Chain A
């Protein structure tokens, strides 16, 4: 993975930069010691590591503004960081940049039940928001599997999803307002407790911007009343095609389940061995369909789902009898990652989205690729919205396997785009899919996005090296013309 070349002057000026930063935030909030810095050398994409120049842990928005303004004046790169659970390398440090850790922004500022929202600092974990309101019967809907650890600021930056997002939306659909600091230290507030904001939708633009446009210092999210009831059905199929058709038929029947997850044979076996969820082992595909809402509705729809499943040839049908059984159904799916981690020394989690009807084709092609690359793959799948999570099994200690896993992963994502899908459904581009962006976007598409970046950060100091496969200077982008897709500046750094 090529990252922008470290700037030698910045590296050499490290002691001075550290001293300067210590004047802006309290001394212990700047970590310069190499042992302590090592904690931050990677995020959830552990194959990549780098030591940051320093780690700064501000605790007020004024400090964030002062640190960013300083970095802006002195051309120091900045990598924002929440809990470091990004699976795309979004929080991967730069050798000549600081990590701006938001861990100290860990307070919930306002629980406003009448306006059905919570105002929180960005370092609060996703789950802590739900915990703050669950006694009153509310919850925060987007539920990434990493929710005990990942921060709400990181969720905003990645526009994270979860198993319930087909019905309840991803982060962007549940965010009402935010405060953010721009690279020059300017502070902006957009939205609030109301539903519409005036002016350009910066709330929507900043969500999913992967730390490249601004540093989020406060968020206001919508909370929902906990549904009266949730029940799950476990459906086994002898063929993946039938499972896929079942999903399509459920949706065509007008049912939007709270969650609809699919696992293939490899994932079912791994999950069952790990969690003992009681999954049938003689099936090729397993669906968990969860219906939630008013009790009368759940009871009504669950009958419909079972009927559709039988028509579609489900060989095993089980409806959760009680809350304990429902949670058992989920236990296997929710532990799919660690379960796969137990059958393989390492695994690499992919995240493309496809039109659902292409699922049989994509899974068949994936099996061919698996042979070609010599690596096994297990599939868990947010079936309702077509978001695939193939887990590629490899052993980093075997020479060449990491490279093979990455090549396999890239082939899968290119396939997703080829069948009409996208590179990433919820994990973000980061460094991981950066070089694949041209598979989905033309040079003009990408330069328009980069011009937006330039409007926020003309010197490309915020999280450079992520998302975009080439680093253009903004002045050049301002005039750049692309002739029939040819690159005009072949000598600019590309990595």
Chain B
């Protein structure tokens, strides 16, 4: 069976080969929210947008900045569910400072492929009892278990936000500036480089702190860029939302989209190797460590070129958006070596021995 929440990211991963659909969108609602314990428990089908509204009332947020990739796949915005975000382990720009979705995933109740309900983790922020199956389920794209309910860590939302926009830097210089900023004690919570637009550095926190850090960062980067603009709170928030959701990705609305995760300082080199061979467009998040890249459709969607470049940089690439036919042929999540692949198959069987859940989603025939 194919498992969906709001079905907003159905186009992510290999096309599932299953005759029936398990729709969890009705499994929705907050089970418990304890702001002072920094804990939120909700059913898996609860829309992320609803959770974000709820915790915002107490000046809190999901610090990993869940991305809303629905629109990238042609769905309407704001529909993604908690289960979907976790199954895809999607984190936004604050990943560099606050961690990924999986780092905020504290407890789960789920059903395995034997039809047995089980739970793992707990409902407190610190816990090492038993294997951390939450982390394993995060990013497993629904291939191991059906998540019913998740407990998340929530954190205070920043009082203020500013963004420094450095103008006129090429990719290399942009990444150098981001590296400098991220290696400074200014607690940068977002670092993106949009070619020919700006190199962006986000500062968040209490008002006086943000103000002081804007000055300190500007001093630090004075020699890097001739013009440094400061974007206010509203402009910052809108811009980082677009960066988070890949809305600023140039190129055709049906172009092929890759998401590369590489050691941040190598970002420009990796992109350079690709751009020398195909007509690509791209931008960087995570200080250069996350590359959103779009290509015109081609034989293998650029897989050979993109993967070779990512691997040379020490990272990897995920084929995020492509026609079904292409995602069937090209391993969306890349190839694993024999030892890892065999281990992955045994892990899958340990949850879902008959291969019921999302067959083919991550790898062909599995």
Contact at B126–A170, with CB atoms within 8 Å? yes
Asked if A441 is at the interface of the complex by the 8 Å CB criterion, the answer is: yes
Contact at B186–A294, with CB atoms within 8 Å? yes
Residues of B within 8 Å of A173, CB to CB, are 99, 103
Contact at A353–B185, with CB atoms within 8 Å? no
Asked if A313 is at the interface of the complex by the 8 Å CB criterion, the answer is: no
Residues of A within 8 Å of B167, CB to CB, are none
Contact at B133–A294, with CB atoms within 8 Å? no
Contact at B216–A452, with CB atoms within 8 Å? no
Contact at B133–A199, with CB atoms within 8 Å? no
Asked if B250 is at the interface of the complex by the 8 Å CB criterion, the answer is: no
CA distance A170 to B104 in the complex (A): 12
Asked if A204 is at the interface of the complex by the 8 Å CB criterion, the answer is: yes
Contact at A355–B130, with CB atoms within 8 Å? no
Asked if A444 is at the interface of the complex by the 8 Å CB criterion, the answer is: yes
Contact at A444–B118, with CB atoms within 8 Å? yes
CA distance A114 to B29 in the complex (A): 43
Of A144-152, A223-231, A316-324, the one contacting chain B is A223-231
CA distance A173 to B140 in the complex (A): 18
CA distance A482 to B265 in the complex (A): 51
Of B3-11, B74-82, B194-202, B203-211, the one contacting chain A is B203-211
Known contacts A188-B339, A300-B209, A385-B125; A442 and B118 CB within 8 A of each other: yes
Known contacts A198-B334, A205-B136, A256-B156; A228 and B185 CB within 8 A of each other: yes
Total chain B interface residues with beta-carbon distance under 8 A: 89
Asked if A195 is at the interface of the complex by the 8 Å CB criterion, the answer is: yes
1/0 contact string of B331-354 vs chain A (CB within 8 Å): 001101001101110110111010
Contact at A200–B350, with CB atoms within 8 Å? no
Q: How far is the CB of B330 from chain A (nearest CB, A)?
A: 13
Residues of A within 8 Å of B123, CB to CB, are 355, 420
Contact at B125–A386, with CB atoms within 8 Å? yes
Q: How far is the CB of B313 from chain A (nearest CB, A)?
A: 9
Residues of A within 8 Å of B99, CB to CB, are 169, 173
Which positions 175-215 of chain A face chain B at CB distance < 8 Å? 182, 186-188, 190, 192-205, 207-209, 213
Asked if A74 is at the interface of the complex by the 8 Å CB criterion, the answer is: no
CA distance A188 to B344 in the complex (A): 11
Asked if A17 is at the interface of the complex by the 8 Å CB criterion, the answer is: no
Asked if B306 is at the interface of the complex by the 8 Å CB criterion, the answer is: no
Contact at A294–B314, with CB atoms within 8 Å? no
Asked if A334 is at the interface of the complex by the 8 Å CB criterion, the answer is: no
Asked if A18 is at the interface of the complex by the 8 Å CB criterion, the answer is: no
Q: How far is the CB of A342 from chain B (nearest CB, A)?
A: 28
Residues of A within 8 Å of B34, CB to CB, are 355, 357
Asked if A429 is at the interface of the complex by the 8 Å CB criterion, the answer is: yes
Contact at B261–A293, with CB atoms within 8 Å? no
Asked if A42 is at the interface of the complex by the 8 Å CB criterion, the answer is: no
Number of A-B contacts (CB under 8 A): 268
Contact at A301–B353, with CB atoms within 8 Å? no
* Cβ-closest chain B residue relative to A176: B263
Asked if A159 is at the interface of the complex by the 8 Å CB criterion, the answer is: yes
Known contacts A115-B263, A354-B124; A188 and B36 CB within 8 A of each other: no
Total chain A interface residues with beta-carbon distance under 8 A: 97
Residues of B within 8 Å of A203, CB to CB, are 135
1/0 contact string of B113-126 vs chain A (CB within 8 Å): 00011111011111
Asked if A391 is at the interface of the complex by the 8 Å CB criterion, the answer is: no
Contact at A294–B213, with CB atoms within 8 Å? yes
Of B176-184, B228-236, B296-304, the one contacting chain A is B176-184
Q: How far is the CB of A351 from chain B (nearest CB, A)?
A: 9
Contact at B100–A192, with CB atoms within 8 Å? no
Contact at B133–A353, with CB atoms within 8 Å? no
Residues of A within 8 Å of B182, CB to CB, are 116, 225
Q: How far is the CB of A126 from chain B (nearest CB, A)?
A: 16
1/0 contact string of B132-151 vs chain A (CB within 8 Å): 11111011100010000000
CA distance A236 to B261 in the complex (A): 48
Known contacts A172-B103, A297-B205, A478-B353; A200 and B127 CB within 8 A of each other: no
Residues of A within 8 Å of B126, CB to CB, are 161, 165-166, 170, 353, 382, 385-387, 425-426
Residues of A within 8 Å of B58, CB to CB, are 252
Contact at B138–A254, with CB atoms within 8 Å? no
1/0 contact string of B31-66 vs chain A (CB within 8 Å): 000111111000000000000000000111000000
Residues of B within 8 Å of A193, CB to CB, are 263, 314-315
* Cβ-closest chain B residue relative to A187: B339
CA distance A198 to B132 in the complex (A): 18
Residues of B within 8 Å of A295, CB to CB, are 212
Q: How far is the CB of B331 from chain A (nearest CB, A)?
A: 10
Asked if B264 is at the interface of the complex by the 8 Å CB criterion, the answer is: yes
Cβ 8 A contact of B350, one of A158, A196, A296, A454: A454
Contact at B139–A201, with CB atoms within 8 Å? yes
Known contacts A199-B336, A205-B132; A252 and B36 CB within 8 A of each other: yes
Cβ 8 A contact of A208, one of B91, B128, B266: B128
Known contacts A115-B265, A296-B211; A159 and B124 CB within 8 A of each other: no
* Other A-B pairs, 6, CB within 8 Å; known A209-B131, A429-B128, A455-B347: A195-B290, A198-B333, A251-B36, A429-B129, A445-B118, A449-B133
23 contacts between A and B (CB under 8 A): A116-B264, A166-B125, A169-B103, A192-B315, A194-B314, A195-B96, A195-B100, A199-B333, A199-B344, A204-B102, A204-B136, A226-B185, A254-B59, A294-B205, A296-B208, A420-B123, A421-B122, A426-B128, A444-B116, A445-B130, A448-B112, A448-B351, A467-B130
- A residues adjacent to B (C-beta < 8 A): 112-117, 137-138, 158-159, 161, 165-166, 169-170, 172-173, 182, 186-188, 190, 192-205, 207-209, 213, 225-228, 248-249, 251-252, 254-256, 293-297, 299-301, 353-357, 382, 385-387, 420-429, 433, 437, 440-442, 444-446, 448-449, 451-456, 467, 478, 482
